[in-house]
Structure 1
Amino acid sequence: MGRPRAFDEDEVVRAAVTLFAGRAYDSVSVDDLVHHLGVHRNSLYKVFGSKRGLYLAALRHHLEHQLAPLIARGAVEPGPGIDLLLLAMAERAPADAEVAALVDHALHDLDDALGGPSATATLLGLRLRARATP
């Protein structure tokens, strides 16, 4: 029988959302995850399998629990609430088919909510510009 988990998986996933949304996948090392999330490396690998596994859990959580409610309320704005989607779209989707599928689904939901791809592109462009401007 294994030892009980010493951390709350949902809490770790939520913290990973914040970390990946702020710094992007390639800028976050496993050491960063261990340090910022307070999870031992072995525990991280046992529960999530890899950095990518944790990233996918964080992206799914973000899309389902943060972005979807904003879309449902018609409250999507070019603020930090779309950062992980924005970074996933630009950084990971071109290199990872699973991320691309998740992003594509979210973009279609945004298109439907905002009135089409042009409105979605404007929203994402405004957020990208805000992130790039000091």
Structure 2
Amino acid sequence: MGRPRAFDEDEVVRAAVALFGGRAYDGVSVDDLVNHLGVHRNSLYKTFGSKRGLYLIALRRHLADDVSPLLDALAGASDTAAALRLVTSADLDLLLLAAVERAPVDDEVAAEVRTALAAVDQAIADALGVPADLAAALTAAALGLVLRGNPDNAATALARCLGPLT
């Protein structure tokens, strides 16, 4: 009979979300995971299979814990400025890093990213009553603002420039 697990898997996954969200997949070594998560190397491999296995679980947790609540919040967005502010203020670090770093080289990550971004697009389209292509452009603009920094002020300015969309 094996020894009982000496760590809380849920806590480890949450800590992995923060680590991958702050440093990206390639910026995190297995040694970093072992040191930052407090999990022995053998336990890490036994529980998650690999660094990539833990990354996929962490990405899915991020989508459930951070992107899904954003979708719910977007349902209540009354105008473009509100929708843009919601997107730019959400914690989407891991999603953005996954989109630029892992999605181009990992089909499973790419599918998760596509699904998440399509859900954001649809939530914006539904909330604002705009066509899907316009909602996708708003999502792209909001995420671009996040990448450029100072997204809150820029989101308000962008919404002013766009004016009413409906």
TM bracket, shorter-chain basis = over 0.9
The one of 104, 110, 132 aligned to 1:100: 110
Match in the other structure for 2:59 = 59
* Structure 1 counterpart of 2:97: 87
For 2:8, the equivalent position in structure 1 comes to: 8
The TM-score with structure 1 as length reference comes to 0.93
Gaps of 5+ in 1: none
| 1:35, distance to aligned residue in structure 2 (A) | 0.6
Partner of residue 18, structure 2:
18
| CA–CA distance in structure 2, aligned partners of residues 8 and 92 of structure 1 | 27
Query: What is the CA deviation profile of residues 44-99 of structure 1, one whole-angstrom value per residue up to 9, with x for unaligned ones?
Result: 00000000000000000000122101211227332461111000000000100000
TM-score (ref. length: structure 2): 0.75
How many residue pairs match? The answer is: 131
In the alignment, does 2:124 pair up with 1:124?
no
CA distance in 1, matches of 2:8, 2:17: 14
Measure the CA separation in 2 of the matches of 1:117 and 1:102: 16
Letter in 2 for 1:71: L
Q: 2: distance between equivalents of 1:79 and 1:87? A: 16
CA RMSD of aligned residues (A): 1.4
Q: Which runs of 5+ in 2 are unaligned?
A: 75-82, 126-134, 151-166
User: Is the radius of gyration larger for structure 1 or structure 2?
Assistant: 2
Q: Within the alignment, does 1:40 sit opposite 2:50 as a pair?
A: no
**Structure-2 separation of matches of 1:49 and 1:92:** 18
Which aligned runs of 4 or more in structure 1 are off by greater than 3 angstroms? none
Percent sequence identity is: 66
